[in-house]
Structure 1
Amino acid sequence: MTDKPAELLTFELCENGDEVEIHLNDEGLSNLINYLVRLKKSRDHEHLMTEEWGGNELTSIKQGSGNTLLQKVTLRHW
């Protein structure tokens, strides 16, 4: 594992490809809650992306050694 940034929110695909891990700290958790509250109000969707993909919602430092970092996560409210 690498050092944790000040804000941590990553979605990572586990090595076996069957699981998603969400890594976050207090600030990342607060931001995720805010995204979910906004999504609940809008009844639409939210794109969470790393800086490399044009966003700033997700951290781009992988936390799980065998994991694959997901660059974009789309939350959809149906």
Structure 2
Amino acid sequence: MIEKPELLSVVTKTDGDVIYIHADLSGLKRLRGSIDSMITELESGVCDHDHLHTEDWAGYELTNTMLESERINGCTQVHHVKLYAWT
């Protein structure tokens, strides 16, 4: 079982051109676990996807965390990340 991350946060600039990912060790393991699972499926010829949500969006995979400088510059917290793997 993949542990709940202490820090795995995705933030975007208001124009959406740049995203920032903040993670600690458990957060990176959570992201790696999702990617590893999709790789396993792809190796079997299966296209897969995963959803990462913040608690605000009824999930636990992402945290609500943003640098103060990002907040001041009008960045937005991302509450739902969809990962897709294609053959």
Instruction: Return the TM-score normalized by structure 2.
Output: 0.74
Structure 2: gaps spanning 5 or more residues: 42-46
Larger Rg: 2
Q: Distance in 2 between matches of 1:8 and 1:25?
A: 5
Q: Distance in 1 between matches of 2:15 and 2:23?
A: 21
Q: Distance in 1 between matches of 2:38 and 2:59?
A: 17
Q: How many residues align?
A: 73
Q: Distance in 2 between matches of 1:10 and 1:45?
A: 19
**Which ranges of 4 or more aligned residues in structure 1 deviate by more than 3 Å?**
none
Q: Distance in 2 between matches of 1:28 and 1:17?
A: 22
Correspondence for 2:60 among 44, 56, 60 = 56
Cα deviation, 1:5-63, whole Å, max 9, x if unaligned, reads x7110111024431111111111111111111012123310000001111110001223
**Pair 1:77 & 2:76 matched:** no
Q: CA RMSD in A?
A: 1.6
Equivalent in the alignment of 1:68? 76
Q: Distance in 1 between matches of 2:65 and 2:10?
A: 10
Q: Which structure has the highest helix share of the two?
A: 2
Instruction: Return the TM-score normalized by structure 1.
Output: 0.81
Q: Distance in 2 between matches of 1:22 and 1:61?
A: 10
Structure 1: gaps spanning 5 or more residues: 1-5
